[in-house]
Amino acid sequence: MSAATPDPKSAASPIIEVWTKDEFVENVLEAESPVVVDFWAAWCQPCVHLAPIFIALAEAHPEVRFVKVDADRARPIAEAVGIKSLPTIGFYFNGRLEDVFIGARSRPQLEKRIVALKDKAAGKGFFQRLLGR
């Protein structure tokens, strides 16, 4: 990892790094909580820019699982999921891909989608969110 990219494997990191298809299945597809997956690569400048935002979001939303997949070093996962561009952020719930953002996004854009994913996990529909219930 470059100096600009915090190490998601550090003990204090709330982010899980996966390297194999089995780890992806266990940590993403079989997860009981909502999952946000960052497909990235070290050479990708927008990915490097996104890294501290992803860490901050993981710290702000401990009830959501945050996962990073290095699309170069874990190419079989990226190919199996159909990743064509980086960064790609996948939003998963109950083993299903609920949404995907391709390209760099702002923290508010990501935060809005994460909150919607959490609401879905909590059983809140559109009207409950609208009414603040």
Catalytic one of 18, 28, 36, 47: 47
pLDDT in tens, 73-112: 999 999 999 999 999 999 999 999 999 999 999 999 999 9
95 is catalytic: no
Per-residue model confidence (pLDDT) at position 63 = 95
Q: Which top CATH class is 15-131? A: alpha beta
The SS3 of residue 128 is helix
Contacts of 103 (CB under 8 A, 6+ apart): 46, 85, 87
- Each domain of the chain, given as residue ranges in start order, spans 15-131
Active site annotation includes 5: no
pLDDT at 10 over 50: no
